[in-house]
């Protein structure tokens, strides 16, 4: 096939999503955020709902998500994204409203807002990036940091007597009457990327159809924070993270929550 044939529209098998802005991302090479951003942009585009989508970005590495995905965004104070999203969705009930939060934002400083938004059954989507570390501030311990894992604030490894235990918050949220869909995914292989995309699509549809709160946890690699190469980071994630945070659906109510 000649180049001219390859670039014919009918031969196109893949293109970057139009909702992904053509700017350099600040994420480290090997980070999962870039892949997840692309999926979010793809799904919104495929669903044709950019006109009524509002994203809420966190404090953490993804604070600048609003520079990368070309929809309307609010930037939240640290941990409060679900409170902002609650108001947006209640005031604009036809919109697709999602938050994009890391483990520190969602399950440390924002735990109260996270749990109560889920418990009220707010019709929002929470995209929860769990990489077991604070990336932006330079690799400190997160609630999800594994026992023995070394970080800047547990340099000799996380100890339960000093630091308590890793927090698996999604199983807790799955127990709440307000959540309709709780799932845990990853984006470290093409197969997992496809599954995560399907999960995001289902969650976004739930928001538009007001079925309750959807939580999509994405177990992710932070090779810089973990001080590993991207390849080794993915391997470390498979061997250690998945044991504590196993992948799969925790809850899926087809008809939405009981009101």
Partner 1 sequence: MNDKVTLMKGNEALAMAMIRYGADGYFGYPITPQSEVLEKLEEEMPWETTGMVVLQAESEVAAINMVYGGAMTGKAVCTSTSSPGFSLMQEGVSYLAASEVPALLINVQRGGPGLGTIHASQADYFQACKGGGHGDYHMIVLAPSSVQEMADMVALGFDLAFKYRCVSMILADGTIGQLMEKVVLPEQRPRRTDDEIRQQCPWAVNGRKGMRPSNVVTSLELDDDKMEENNWRFQACYREIEKNETRCELIDVEDCDYLITAFGTTARVAMKTMELARAEGIKVGMFRPITLWPFPEKQLREAAKNVKGILCVELNAGQMVEDVKLAVECKMPVEHYGRFGGNVPTPDELLNVLKEKLINK
Q: Residues in the site for partner 1, rule: CB under 8 A?
A: 50-54, 56-57, 63, 66, 70-77, 80, 83-88, 90-92, 95, 112-113, 116
Give the CA angle between residues 255, 126, 22 to the nearest 5°: 120
Instruction: Kindly tell me which of 74 and 205 has the beta carbon lying closer to partner 1.
Output: 74
Instruction: Kindly tell me which of 58 and 139 has the beta carbon lying closer to partner 1.
Output: 58
Instruction: Kindly tell me which of 7 and 91 has the beta carbon lying closer to partner 1.
Output: 91
Instruction: Kindly tell me which of 28 and 147 has the beta carbon lying closer to partner 1.
Output: 28
The dihedral built from the CA positions of residue 214, 220, 224 and 227, taken in this order, carries a sign that is positive
Q: What is the smallest separation between the CB atom of 2 and partner 1, expressed in angstroms?
A: 35
Q: What is the smallest separation between the CB atom of 85 and partner 1, expressed in angstroms?
A: 6
Instruction: Kindly tell me which of 41 and 146 has the beta carbon lying closer to partner 1.
Output: 41
| C-alpha closest to that of 104 among 11, 210, 225 | 225
Q: What is the smallest separation between the CB atom of 6 and partner 1, expressed in angstroms?
A: 30
Q: What is the smallest separation between the CB atom of 59 and partner 1, expressed in angstroms?
A: 8
Task: Identify whether the C-beta of residue 225 lies closer than 8 Å to the C-beta of residue 241.
Answer: no
Give dist(CA 215, CA 143) in Å, integer.
18
Strand partners, 154: 151
DSSP string, 15-50: ---TTB-SS---SPTT-SHHHHHHHHHHHHHHHT-G
Strand partners, 75: 57
Instruction: Kindly tell me which of 111 and 153 has the beta carbon lying closer to partner 1.
Output: 111
Task: Identify whether the C-beta of residue 237 lies closer than 8 Å to the C-beta of residue 221.
Answer: yes
Phi, psi (degrees; rounded to nearest 5) at 222: -125, 80
Q: What is the smallest separation between the CB atom of 140 and partner 1, expressed in angstroms?
A: 20
Give dist(CA 157, CA 240) in Å, integer.
14
Give dist(CA 182, CA 186) in Å, integer.
14
Q: What is the smallest separation between the CB atom of 99 and partner 1, expressed in angstroms?
A: 10
């Amino acid at each position: 096939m000649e180049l001219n044939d390859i670039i014919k529209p009918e031969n196109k098998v893949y293109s970057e999503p139009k909702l992904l802005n053509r700017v350099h991302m600040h994420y480290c090479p090997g980070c999962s955020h870039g892949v997840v951003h692309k999926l979010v942009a793809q799904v919104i585009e495929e669903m044709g709902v950019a006109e009524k989508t509002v994203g809420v970005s966190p404090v953490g590495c993804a604070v600048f998500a609003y520079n990368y995905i070309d929809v309307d965004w609010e930037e939240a104070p640290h941990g409060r994204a679900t409170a902002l999203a609650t108001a947006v969705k209640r005031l604009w009930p036809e919109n697709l409203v999602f938050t994009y939060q890391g483990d520190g934002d969602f399950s440390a400083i924002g735990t109260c807002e996270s749990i109560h938004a889920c418990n009220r059954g707010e019709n929002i989507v929470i995209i929860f990036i769990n990489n077991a570390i604070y990336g932006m501030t330079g690799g400190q311990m997160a609630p999800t940091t594994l026992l023995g894992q070394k970080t800047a604030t547990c340099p000799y490894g996380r100890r339960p007597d000093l630091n308590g235990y890793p927090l698996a918050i999604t199983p807790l949220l799955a127990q709440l009457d307000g959540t309709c869909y709780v799932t845990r995914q990853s984006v470290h292989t093409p197969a997992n990327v496809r599954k995560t995309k399907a999960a995001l699509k289902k969650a976004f549809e739930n928001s538009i159809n007001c079925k309750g709160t959807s939580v999509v946890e994405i177990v992710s690699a932070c090779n810089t924070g973990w001080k590993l190469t991207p390849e080794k980071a993915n391997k470390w994630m498979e061997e250690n993270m998945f044991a504590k945070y196993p992948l799969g659906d925790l809850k899926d109510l087809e008809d939405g929550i009981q009101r």
